Amino acid sequence: MTGGDIQFDRQGRLRHLLTLEGLSRQTILEILDLAESFISVGEREIKKVPLLRGKTILNLFFESSTRTRTTFEIAGKRLSADVINLNVNASAASKGETLLDTVRNLEAMHTDLFVVRHAESGVAYLVASHVPAHVHVINAGDGSHAHPTQALLDAFTIRRHKRAFNNLKVAIVGDMLHSRVARSQIQVLTTLGVRDLRVVAPKTLLPLKVDRLGVRPFTDLHAGIEGVDVIIALRLQRERMHGALIPSAQEYFDLFGLTPERLALAKPDAIVMHPGPINRGLEIDSEVADGSQSVILSQVTNGIAVRMAVMALILGPSVEARSG
């Protein structure tokens, strides 16, 4: 099953957000434009709009996450929805209840939207394929498959700093093999028209035939980031690695860590991004992470607006009613 089979309802409206695969440029731009309108909400004294008043959103996280869960919670509350965070470790799931039984019981409590994060790929699809028509699902990261809202907030951040996408040179650096973020980033950036999209990693951390995704693979960091406008550093996901894919953490940093000297190879106004959490001294030097070209904290702020936009598009009224 592909995302396009169940992501849209019969009227063509976005029902779930499970992947960016199959989403049109128009739909992605609609999300980014809507997110732009929500940025100012966070700057108000009262950081709320009544768009989703009366709706119930449940954060169903089977995998720990600070930034993603918190920004989804804040996003839902800023839209005036009732937001519940389920402590899965203390739930019936830990007592042997199946995932679908857990979801069905939560549905019975009149949940409108599930935000699902799970260590196994495909769980968000499983939930979405078993909920009734009035219930919606957002994938907040499933295994090494997809993380659509992270990629959307990355695209939103790039657009705020660089405007048009078609002339950009973008390098994604790091653990491509295990990264759900990178897969979604490639999908959104190619759909938005980035013509020079590079992936940079040791050969052991590059997926086979990665060039078929419309990217240029590099195994040399210097060549991969030379002259780029945007560098996206990825977290080295050692918890997902089986076997010795890198000789050591120090050797990885020596060859692929982003330092001020290496950043100088990119364009002078290049921006540096990271989906977090950051491993300082492994993927990125502190001087770069905290430097003037870093937009890492802006990504976190922008994530609230983007997740508000996705929730509003799925649960909210029409565009005309929203703008009014």
Determine which one of 10, 66, 95, 212 is catalytic: 95
98 neighbors 166 (Cβ within 8 angstroms): no
Structure tokens at 63: 């995998």
Residues 237 and 227: their CA atoms lie apart, in Å, by 27
Determine which one of 19, 27, 68, 71 is catalytic: 68
DSSP E strands in the chain: the ranges are 56-61, 82-87, 113-118, 136-142, 169-173, 196-200, 216-218, 230-233, 271-273
State phi, psi for 8 to the nearest 5 degrees. Answer: -115, 150
Determine which one of 16, 147, 180, 274 is catalytic: 147
Catalytic (active site) residue 47: no
Determine which one of 78, 117, 118, 145 is catalytic: 117
Provide the residue count of the chain: 324
Residues 201 and 246: their CA atoms lie apart, in Å, by 11
Catalytic (active site) residue 66: no
Determine which one of 67, 104, 160, 267 is catalytic: 67
Distances in Å between the Cα of 294 and the Cα atoms of 171, 254, 275, 288 are 15, 20, 12, 7
CB atoms within 10 A of CB 258: 24
Catalytic (active site) residue 169: no
Quick one: how far is CA 253 from the chain centroid? 24
CB atoms within 10 A of CB 16: 25
Catalytic (active site) residue 67: yes
Catalytic (active site) residue 118: no
State phi, psi for 173 to the nearest 5 degrees. Answer: -120, 125
1 neighbors 8 (Cβ within 8 angstroms): no
Residues 277 and 83: their CA atoms lie apart, in Å, by 24
Provide the annotated active-site residues: 67-68, 95, 117, 147
